[in-house]
Amino acid sequence: MVAGVVAGHARAFARTTLLLAGAVVQALMSVGTIVALVLAVGQGMVFIFAPLVRTHRRVTALARRRALAWSGVEIPEPYEPPPPPPVPDAEGWYRSDRVLYKTPRVPAFNQRYKWLLGDPATWRDMLWIASDSVVAAVVGLLPLSLAGYGLAVAVPWVTPVPWPAVFAVPAGLAMTLGAFMLAPVLLRTHAVWCSWLLGSTPRARIARDMGRLARSRSDALDAQNAELRRIERELHDGAQARLVAVGMTLGAAHDLVRADPGAARTLLGQARSESAAALAEIRGLVRGIHPPVLAERGLGDAVRALALDSPLNVDVVVDLQVRPTAPVEAAAYFAVSELLAEAARDERAERVEIDVSPRGMALRITLTGVGAPAPAVLAGIERRIGVFDGVVVVGREGVGPPMITIELPQALAHTTEGTHPKMPLSKSIPVVLGWSLGWLPLFPQGFVAGVNKIVNPENRSWFLALYLPEPMQWPFIGLMIMLGTFLYGMATALPLLHSREHGTDACAPAFTYRRR
């Protein structure tokens, strides 16, 4: 335990030193970048630009990985997606602006150029490389110099201070220890600073979300169209044709009923079986559109009905107090239905467990004992649930049976609309106190007291700090300012954290802490 903590601090210390080395590299890179930019823009050597940006992205990718590995700060990539390859027009020409080209080389180059130049993340990367060379240098130098200075103070024959060894040795060791204590905090602070420039901006996030939404919308429309065409075809070739046959047979029976009652009876029997077949076909079709059991009973019993019809041994656990909306239910139902049908084809599959339960506002369905389906099936399921931002995860836990998890976020959101869980008193009281009392230490006892101490130290007025003995005055003022800042910070942070916990935060955070 203790050894682990010590090792952790030592590791963090070593890493801050590594940051220092990185800072040197970044400083050199910044100089190189300026030269390259001057050449690219000033001398027209635009072909330098793409490799330059690629190099930057490699360096920043490293920094993102570093922030996650060293401090647990996850920084998502902010880049806009690359442009699709150029498509030739009807005559086989490639168009770029107003010029036509025979090969896609130049248009592709122009597209890439615009893509890299137009992405704000490109410039933010450059800004980070330049400014981080300074920040990282400070972060790296601080613990190193503090530890070095502390060691120097502690060693009697090199000590730079004229203190007796009784003071100097503990003081020096304390400084060194302090440097080690400081290292992880500095490292994390540095990671958060990196996330500020390297993370995605709200604009980039919105652009990405919009791209995804447009894709899923067109997928949904395609799927719906295909479905309608299939239904039309099946009605046309199946039930409709059969009903025509029924009508014709009845007509023939009608004509024969006097002349040949026996033949008429046979025909009527035919008409009856024909209409039964039409009904059976329509039943199958209805099942494919919206299964009756789903409409009648909801997702839980519909999945139970699927389990009963499956040749596999399926256990179903459903924990749903409320029904998701009908489209979500249908998407979830068909996903489970397709996965079970796939599993039934798999000779190895035997026991399947299906768990349908809420996860906050999300609906999660876990199928244990179901292996990865064929890629086409998986793609179909993804398309179906993609409309609702749903995801499918295929995998297994350790050596356990294979598992498929379907998660539909916000599937149950409609049930809690307007009933956003209120903050408990243990949170709302500190918020009220913070907002109502924060000003008191921050201004009258903090900043104003400080200004007064500088300007007119004789007038003690209502400033508590000035009634204390002289050496305690500045620390007390500092403490008051910190207290005020803390109160305001708490009052701001608590509601934010609360809403994020309960999933009502519309905007994803720029970075997330990952528990390790």
Partner 1 sequence: MRVAIAEDLYLLREGLVHLLRAHGLDVVAAVETGPELLKALTGDPPDVAIVDVRLPPTFTDEGLQAALEARRRVPGLPVLVLSQHVEQLYARELLADGSGSVGYLLKDRVFDAAQFVDALRRVAGGGTAMDPEVIAKLLASNARSAPLGRLTAREREVLALMAEGRSNAAIAQRLFLSESAVGKHTASIFAKFDLAPSDDDNRRVLAVLAYLNAQP
Sites of contact with partner 1 (CB under 8 A) = 272, 275-276, 279-280, 283, 286-287, 292-293, 295-297, 301, 304-305, 308-313
Least distance from C-beta 310 to partner 1, angstroms?
6
Q: Given the complex with partner 1, which of 171 and 231 has the nearer CB atom?
A: 231
Distance between CA atoms of residues 185 and 148, nearest Å = 19
Where do runs of H (alpha helix) occur along 75-119?
A: 105-118
Residues in a beta bridge with 73: 513
Residues in a beta bridge with 364: 357, 407
Least distance from C-beta 291 to partner 1, angstroms?
8
Q: Given the complex with partner 1, which of 102 and 351 has the nearer CB atom?
A: 351
Q: Given the complex with partner 1, which of 311 and 395 has the nearer CB atom?
A: 311
DSSP code at position 371: -
Distance between CA atoms of residues 493 and 509, nearest Å = 13
Q: Given the complex with partner 1, which of 21 and 295 has the nearer CB atom?
A: 295
Least distance from C-beta 339 to partner 1, angstroms?
16
Chain-centroid distance, C-alpha 447: 41
Q: Given the complex with partner 1, which of 272 and 420 has the nearer CB atom?
A: 272
Q: Given the complex with partner 1, which of 125 and 281 has the nearer CB atom?
A: 281
DSSP one-letter string for 279-338: HHHHHHHHHHHS-HHHHHH-HHHHHHHHHHHSSSEEEEEE--SSPPPHHHHHHHHHHHHH
DSSP one-letter string for 422-487: PPPHHHHHHHHHHHHHTHHHHIIIIIHHHHHHHH-TT--TT-GGGGS-HHHHHHHHHHHHHHHHHH
Cβ atoms of residues 173 and 154 within 8 Å: yes
* 121 burial type by CB count under 10 A (0-12 exposed, 13-18 middle, 19+ buried): buried
Least distance from C-beta 311 to partner 1, angstroms?
5
Residue pointed to by tokens 């060791």: 173
Beta-sheet pairing, 362-368 with 402-408: antiparallel
Structure-block tokens of residue 360 = 């906050």
Least distance from C-beta 213 to partner 1, angstroms?
33
Q: Which of 76, 67, 74 is nearest to 188 (CA)?
A: 67
First to last CA, the chain: 16
Least distance from C-beta 344 to partner 1, angstroms?
9
Least distance from C-beta 274 to partner 1, angstroms?
11
Give φ, ψ of 371 to 5 degrees.
Answer: -80, 175
Cβ atoms of residues 472 and 478 within 8 Å: no
Q: Which of 70, 81, 13, 36 is nearest to 194 (CA)?
A: 70
Least distance from C-beta 244 to partner 1, angstroms?
19
Q: Given the complex with partner 1, which of 286 and 493 has the nearer CB atom?
A: 286
Chain-centroid distance, C-alpha 39: 39
Least distance from C-beta 490 to partner 1, angstroms?
50
Cβ atoms of residues 352 and 401 within 8 Å: no
DSSP code at position 161: S
Least distance from C-beta 338 to partner 1, angstroms?
17
The length of the chain in residues reads: 516
Least distance from C-beta 361 to partner 1, angstroms?
25
